[in-house]
Structure 1
Amino acid sequence: MSDFAHSEARYLALVYRQLMRHLDEELAPADLGPGRYLYLYALQAKDGRRQQELADALGLDKAAVTRALARLEEDGFIRREADKEDGRATRVFLTSKGRAKQAFLEGAASNSLEKLLRPLTVVERERFGKLLAKIALPLLDP
């Protein structure tokens, strides 16, 4: 019988929850939770993505993306418009308010990761990042 209390699955879950706590603390002044942050961060990397492309990049289902984008649009961080090449698709763009958050979001992400990774040496951080990428990258490109 496996020991779930000391399994990789449990450790990954604990690390994820702690990262979300750190991000929540960092993002509180901007009234952005960790979930909404992901969309703005992804759009800062590539603005004007199709909504489905954004869902795929984040590994989230279409319905969750639609709900989150509706809230971000309501709050003035993004705008959505029909794709000129494919009227069935929707493209998502940052507004000036959304773009103005770039430095804040980068700082929040950096501070959150620093808190989380503080116990690791530089070499351990590099190794940890490479191992996570080895696991995660194939999941983003099915």
Structure 2
Amino acid sequence: MKPISTFLSCSLALVIVVALMGCVASPMVDQPDRSVADVIDLRIGYPEAFDRVVRALEREGYEIETADERVGLIRTTPKPREGAGGVTYKVAVIVRMGGTGRESWLAVDQIAIPMFPEEERRIKDLLKGVAR
């Protein structure tokens, strides 16, 4: 068996270092641009506004999945909602925030995923059969 060449061992070390750096890096979330029409200006400091937004969503019955004040991101766990025509959706709220100690702003997005119980049941039954 031949020993590993210096080039190969250095290349492997570089790949490992790059991979580890990627694992340590914080997630990038774009703060909302204040010039966008959908941005809501708040007349309170960012830390207080962030806490108030989290509490307001919780009062509405949303479970908070992520609340990272450092990057300005609040995301809720999808919550079932009834839509028109008897269609049920799972709705998640995503709030992106930015600001300073004296002012803050936010932008809100919703993600709605239609639910098809019959199709879900059919797929689950199908996938249970994979292990047999």
TM-score range, shorter chain: under 0.3
Larger Cα Rg: Structure 1 or Structure 2?
2
Query: Which has a greater percent of helix?
Result: 1
Q: TM-score, normalised by structure 1?
A: 0.22
Query: Which has a greater percent of strand?
Result: 2
Q: TM-score, normalised by structure 2?
A: 0.24
Relative CO higher for 1 or 2, CA cutoff 8 Å, sep ≥ 6?
Answer: 1
